[in-house]
Amino acid sequence: MPTQTFFHLSKEKQTTLLKAAMKEFTHQSFANASINQIIKEASIPRGSFYMYFQDKEDLYFYLLEQSRDRFQKQLLILIEEEHGDLFCTFERFFESIIDYCSKKNHRLFFKQVFANINSQAEKRLFPTKTNVFDPRSFYKHFLEQIDVSKLNIQQEDDLEEIVGLLFGMTLHTLILSFTSDKKKEEIMNSYHRKLILLKYGMEKYRKE
């Protein structure tokens, strides 16, 4: 996370630095991205950079966390609009992520992110159930909005498991879409098929 010194900067100076970082991480993988290039683009001294961020990783993950915060707010809006319907919510959620990540000024950045994603980056983009017992956590709040009467809940942790599967499926489909350059219609059709399989299963009902 940025230091308090960064947050005390004017919004204009914050934006300038973050835009410079976004540009560098867009054109270079995380491993090849250069702090020197970022500070040159932002026109700040090297010493100032370390007053704002601990290192390159700290800055990179902050950019991802900004996107995660946006995704979380959107997901809470959608689950309310869909009256707790988990699968309808995730279908709309996935489309909203595709639209956001595909914007002209975002697409190349997220293509780099998804092409080089690791477990740390994944945690910065999507919520996990590690803080589910925190009453202030997004994850806990989201679970409380789900209409469980529409789901086949057999055990106490079934809801967390299905939500975890949906987040995993969402991330996996995003990675495939950005690394294969598929069109939106193909991506949405693929995601919809996966949702249907997860919602209804594969095994035929057999009357004994």
Which residue intervals of 82-115 are DSSP H helices? 86-101, 107-115
**Which pairs with CB-CB distance under 8 Å and at least 24 residues apart come from 76-80?**
76/138, 76/141, 76/142, 76/145, 79/142, 79/145, 79/146, 80/145
Percentage of the chain modeled with pLDDT above 70: 93
Tens-place pLDDT, residues 51-95: 999 999 999 999 999 988 899 999 999 999 999 999 999 999 999
- Distance, in Å, from the CA atom of 48 to the CA atom of 46, rounded to the nearest integer, reads 5
pLDDT of residue 130: 52
The arithmetic mean of pLDDT across residues 167-172, rounded, is 91
User: Which has the higher per-residue pLDDT, 75 or 157?
Assistant: 75
User: Which has the higher per-residue pLDDT, 108 or 90?
Assistant: 90
- Interior CA angle at 72 toward 108 and 110, to 5°? 10
pLDDT of residue 196: 94
pLDDT of residue 103: 87
The arithmetic mean of pLDDT across residues 141-170, rounded, is 90
- Residue length of the chain: 208
Question: Against a cut of 0.75, is the pTM above it?
Answer: yes
pLDDT of residue 104: 82
Confidence of residue 117 (pLDDT cuts 50, 70, 90): confident
The arithmetic mean of pLDDT across residues 5-28, rounded, is 95
What sign results for the dihedral spanned by CA atoms 142, 148, 153, 156? positive
pLDDT at position 12 over 70:
yes
The arithmetic mean of pLDDT across residues 108-123, rounded, is 84
Q: Lowest mean pLDDT: which of 14-18, 101-105, 130-134, 136-140? A: 130-134
